[in-house]
Amino acid sequence: MTKPLKIAIAGLGTVGGGIVKMVQKHGALLEKRAGKAIEITAVSARSRGKDRGVDLSGYAWEDNPVALSQRDDVDLVIEVMGGEDGPAKACVETALQNGKHVVTANKAMLALHGQSMAEMAENSGVALRYEAAVAGGIPIVKALTEGLAGNGITRVMGVMNGTCNYILTEMERTGAAYADVLKDAQALGYAEADPSVDVGGIDAAHKLSLLSSVAFGTKVDFASVQIEGIERVSLADIKNARDMGFSIKLLGVSRMNADGLEQRMQPCLVPANSPLGQLDGVSNMVVVDGDFIGQTVYQGPGAGEGPTASAILGDVMDIARGLVIPVFGQPAAGLSNSEASRAGSDAAYYLRFSLQDQAGVLATLATILGNFGVSINRMHQYSHGGQSAPLVIVTHATSRTALDQALAEISALPASLAAPIALRIETL
């Protein structure tokens, strides 16, 4: 008789409770698909007496998640506590050291410690899976490590944070200001009381760093991701972009350039009629370009009980079937120390300036851009009252280094009333 796969769950919040529900509801189906039973044997959380809406009476309880990882009746530990260090890290490392498989949704932990954990897992001959850590319910890690494994990946990009996508699409749909939409997102549970990790681009950048490693065979390098949040995107920018046929998205882009790995998480303009441009609400989308397959697109819910639990159980099922592959698609010891690309890739940019309405200012601005090799594609000065003259410029493709130098000089002009806004226009 085939032995069951015995699992333990560290963390019984929304996601942990969702995993329990799925196993309890679909136990027979999971057994048929995996060829063996999937059994929860033990759980751990901070509060033993809290009502979580699921029956936990049949499972052993450990107050300490590290003790959970040391139990003899556990083959696989699911970590859904969160936190880049502390108990979550200790729980995962203990499990791997004790020869137990691990499935986690913890992108922050892996973005900082993924390389050492991958080496630990592979040295122990166990799996470390993390589909739920990247783009929620979208099986993008599996696509990169398995379905697209025969391709050289040339670019990975996508919308990887549902909170930001909700805010930007609601601003465009309703005409409400950023602060008002953020409050609505918090009321709906889409944004935390402190939303800085989401709206600042950090959460999505964690995810991008993991996808970069899988796509390009490099060690996880979160520190090299260029991060810019959505806080400075205004209604004026959204309207201007729409008038030009674009939508603004918090977009992660990763590609390998001649001088190293380019990783960016920043607001960008994308064609409004493209799959990314039409992505609404809290959904996520990842676009992958491969040298043989071309472009593939993956869309789905990026967070929540059901999608995250679904992704976790998908990893559990692969392990139950005996699939143990390198954590980042190739042996961790062979992942390269890629240099961060300094030059990046050239692109057109949307620029918005707030300038004093006085003679000669536009000529001075155009001269400064020209001095740094930044060519103007089109320019529009919007109607205004008072002394401020809003100006929008779209450039031809240029390097970000040259553009930043030009913008720094423009910002120093006495006629400049606010720091310019520069948003990359990403081609699909």
Q: Which residues are catalytic?
A: 207
Note whether 289 and 426 are within 8 A (CB): no
* Cα(181)–Cα(167) distance, integer angstroms: 6
What residues contact residue 277 under an 8 Å CB cut-off, 6+ apart?
246, 247, 249, 270, 271
Instruction: Give CA–CA dist 143/149, Å, rounded.
Output: 8
Q: What are phi and psi of 72, to 5 degrees?
A: -75, -20
**Distance separating alpha carbons of residues 321 and 350, to the nearest angstrom:** 50
Contacts of 416 by beta carbon, 8 Å cutoff, 6+ apart:
353, 354, 355, 356, 410
What is the Cα–Cα distance from 80 to 87, expressed in whole angstroms?
11
H-type alpha helices, 80-133? 86-97, 107-124
Both structure tokens of 301 = 């819910």
- How many CB atoms within 10 Å of residue 373? 13
d(CA 97, CA 102): 11
- Residue corresponding to tokens 């953020």: 182
- CB under 8 Å to 279, separation ≥6 — which residues? 159, 165, 169, 249, 285, 299
Distance of CA 396 to the CA centre of its chain: 28
Question: HSE on the CB side for 247, CA within 13 Å?
Answer: 24
Helix (H, G, I), strand (E, B) or coil at 354: strand
Name the helix (H) or strand (E) containing 394: strand 388-395
> At which residue do the structure tokens 């918005």 appear?
352
